[in-house]
Amino acid sequence: MILAVIADILEIFVFPLAGAASPPDDVLDFCVAGVLTYLLGWHWEFAPSFLAKFVPGVDLVPCWTLAVANVYRKSKRLAVTVEASRGQQPPQQGPPSP
């Protein structure tokens, strides 16, 4: 999450000063996409963040932070669902007691 926030801060406040076609901004996006995919695995939420470069003005939205927050939210929901399904399974039958 910290990496996504730092990347969005750089994209919103630092790189717009370099102009519309900013190579450092493109390099930052490639690096952030690679590191987040390495850390969290591939998620479809990363695609809009990466493609936001092609729509003027959309890059001023903290896309990386929103994507990571959404991945985190989904992983927490999945963990709760798995725990709930484990709690609903019938107890294991052991050998009959004498």
The Cα–Cα gap between 77 and 81 comes to 6
| 18-60 pLDDT tens trace | 555 677 888 888 899 899 999 988 888 888 877 877 777 777 7
For residues 31 and 16, the answer to whether their CB atoms sit within 8 Å is no
Mean pLDDT of the chain: 78
pLDDT of residue 44: 85
Per the CB < 8 A criterion, the answer to whether 52 and 32 are in contact is no
Query: What is the per-residue pLDDT for 19?
Result: 52
Residues 5 and 65: their CA atoms lie apart, in Å, by 5
pTM: 0.66
